[in-house]
Amino acid sequence: MTTKRVTLLILAIIVIASPFFFPSNYYYRVGSLIFVNGLAVTGMVILIGYAGQISLGHAGFAGIGGYACALAPVHLGLHPGLAAILGAAISGALAWAVGRPVLRLKGYYLAVATLGLGILVSMVLANEAWLTRGPDGIEVPDLGLNDLLEAVGIDLSNSQFWYFFSGLVLVIGAWVALNLYDSPTGRALRALHGSEIAARTVGIDVARLKLQAFVISAIYASLSGSLLALQNKFITPDVAGFMHSIEMVTMAVLGGVGSVLGAFFGATILTTLPQVLTVFQEYEQILLGLVMMLCMIFMREGLLPSILRALRGKDK
């Protein structure tokens, strides 16, 4: 069985089997957050793991996706689902327009430029109160799919519905990313990651590939923001904040940025660990930072690749 099929099978099993171990609906909520973060981090895998580029402003695209679901139904009369697609289209267009000049930069210049983009989007969402209602946030209309399921005899609570719906979107997003990995474009992206000079030498259009990866990852981030807004039925500018961008990158690197499954593993750890560490109260952030530092020091490839390598070593 190929790596792609194994990854998709594992993700599907996790989505379907996990509820059998949930003692309350609260765990459905945590699970849906893991899937939403996993979707955003899958986009980071395409940008960082495949193409070798860095972005510290991708939360801005998540903010665009979330606010599209809040504003488009009110001002344009769109269904929230269509509003999410519109948000993804806007994010992709913005990434294309900004990425053309920005992606000519390298290293920390690129990181700072993308950081500026994220901060700019966050400032617009927070300051343009006439449209976004400012820092207080804005309500998001209901998607309506749960009511449709009830009409055909499928009765799910709100948290259960969003758990399974977010899980389905994550699996689809992972399928797209894995297909991209195996495609000629994916192989060219990996060549670019290895060496831009070598990639140019064999005729790869480096600028076009960088831009493609940036646009695709922006669409993933936008859809994750839309999912978060729709399930919360509320959105604030925090979703586009700097710390959310850092969380995306950290989740990808922590789990293993070269692997879709590793990135999902990182999203799971970084989403659930704060819930576990709440018992330590004021020491929660210190312990969370310590755990992350130790993982990066002793597991530089990421948690999942390091664990798999250790297991293979034991088998030998």
Tokens of 261: 């499954």
Asked if residue 281 is part of any domain, the answer here is no
- State the residue range of the domain holding 78: 36-241
Backbone angles phi, psi at 294, to 5 degrees: -65, -40
Tokens of 76: 């344009």
Q: How many Cα neighbours within 13 Å face the side chain of 122?
A: 19
Domain count, the chain: 1
CB atoms within 10 A of CB 316: 4
Contact partners, residue 173, CB within 8 Å, separation at least 6 = 39, 42, 43, 220, 223
User: How much is the pLDDT for 3?
Assistant: 79
What is the Cα–Cα distance from 111 to 65, expressed in whole angstroms? 22
Asked if residue 270 is part of any domain, the answer here is no
User: How much is the pLDDT for 178?
Assistant: 93
pTM: 0.91
Which residue type sits at 252? A
Backbone angles phi, psi at 139, to 5 degrees: -75, 150
Render each residue's pLDDT in the chain as its tens digit; 316 residues: 677 888 899 999 999 999 999 888 889 999 999 999 999 999 999 998 888 888 888 999 999 999 999 999 999 999 999 999 999 999 999 999 998 888 888 777 788 888 888 899 999 999 988 888 888 899 999 888 877 777 777 777 788 999 999 999 999 999 999 999 888 888 888 888 877 888 888 888 888 888 999 999 999 999 999 999 999 999 999 999 888 888 888 888 888 888 888 889 888 988 887 776 666 666 666 766 777 777 767 766 676 777 767 666 655 5
Asked if residue 268 is part of any domain, the answer here is no
Asked if residue 51 is part of any domain, the answer here is yes
Residue 234 bridge partners (DSSP): 139
Asked if residue 31 is part of any domain, the answer here is no
Asked if residue 295 is part of any domain, the answer here is no
